[in-house]
Amino acid sequence: MQNLYNAAHTCLMQTDIAQKLSCAQQLYTAWKNGELSRDNANAPLVETILIPGRPTKPELVHPKQVKQRKLNTPEGQRALLHAVAHIEFNAINLALDAVYRFRDLPDAYYGDWLQVAAEEAYHFSLLQQRLMEVGCAYGDLPAHNGLWEQACKTDHDVLIRMALVPRVLEARGLDVTPGMMQRLHEAGDTQTVAILEIILRDEIGHVRIGSHWFHYCCAQRGLEPEATFRQLLRDALPAPLRGPFYTEARLQAGFSATELEQLIEMEKNWGEDAACRRE
């Protein structure tokens, strides 16, 4: 029987896109079929992974160097597709790393994140095909490495990972996707809109998985989830999360009404809070 952590690490470090997509799907199937073992004695030691498996392109640049283009132009539509594809590719690695790295969770945790990896691979394949249809390929445009940098910053604690990756970075996608869909619809790009509808539906589930395991970790440690999440945001983020927030999707994804109110208040009061932290 194959070792789960070995298998997740192999897939995580795979640089060939087609192989990574296939591997992510096969891992989830193997888990559901009971073909993966959580034998820690034969698992690789957990290591910091500064560079996960990725192709040589896209070139990674500072976020400010990633040009923003209007969505009513072909160049803008290609740039948006490429940016979303890059997010989804990174999300495959993030889900696999959550399996490989954190080893003292219930079996359901590993099933959840292997499902996420498989669904992110599916999303990427849809975007990859759409990029080809508009005369572009993944890697043709530069991208930034913000998602994986956050993975490195949270690789020491599963509670912090669940709080700051699914519930911050991926939840931000819930907020901005409806606006992107509306602008693409106005530009007549109904094919991309249909893909984003699938991604938005699934990403609500992914954030909900993060919320579930964040609450699980809080319960294990005797922590109050809403206060803990609020403090982690204050400690980790250089700037507040900016609204508007997609309330309905965030509620479906495991945020409480109180948390949403707190996000709005934090955005409103961030300057005052930052001054207090500096004193």
User: What's residue 70's pLDDT?
Assistant: 76
pLDDT number for residue 279: 44
- What interhelical angle do 107-133 and 17-32 show, nearest 10? 150
Structure tokens at 50: 């500064």
Count the domains in the chain: 1
Residue 242 is assigned to a structural domain of this protein: yes
- Indicate the pTM of the whole model: 0.94
Amino acid identity at 204 = I
165 within some domain? yes
Question: What pLDDT sits at residue 278?
Answer: 42
User: In this structure, which long-range contacts are made by residues 146-150, counting pairs with CB atoms below 8 Å and at least 24 apart in sequence?
Assistant: 146/63, 147/87, 147/90, 147/91, 147/94, 148/52, 148/90, 148/93, 148/94
Digitized pLDDT (tens) for each residue of the chain, 279 residues in all: 899 999 999 999 999 999 999 999 999 999 999 999 998 887 888 999 999 999 999 998 887 777 777 777 888 899 999 999 999 999 999 999 999 999 999 999 999 999 999 999 999 999 999 999 999 999 999 999 988 999 999 999 999 999 999 999 999 999 999 999 999 999 899 999 999 999 999 999 999 999 999 999 999 999 999 999 999 999 988 887 888 999 999 999 999 999 999 999 888 887 555 444 444
Residue 275: the pLDDT is 44
Virtual torsion, Cα 98, 101, 103, 105, nearest 10 deg: -20
Going by C-beta distance under 8 Å and a sequence separation of 6 or more, which residues neighbour residue 216? 105, 109
Q: What number of residues does the chain have? A: 279
Q: Locate tokens 């309330």: which residue?
A: 247
Residue 266 lies in a domain: yes
What is the pLDDT at residue 242? 87
What are all long-range contacts of 265-269, with beta carbons under 8 Å and residues at least 24 apart? 266/230, 266/233, 266/234, 266/240, 266/241, 267/240, 267/241, 267/242, 267/243
Q: Is residue 57 part of a domain?
A: no
The answer to whether residue 166 sits within a structural domain is yes
Structure tokens belonging to residue 201: 């539906």
The answer as to whether 194 is a domain residue is yes
Range of the domain at 195: 2-46+69-278
For residue 225, give the amino acid letter. Answer: P
Q: Is residue 54 part of a domain?
A: no
176 within some domain: yes
pLDDT attached to residue 271? 55
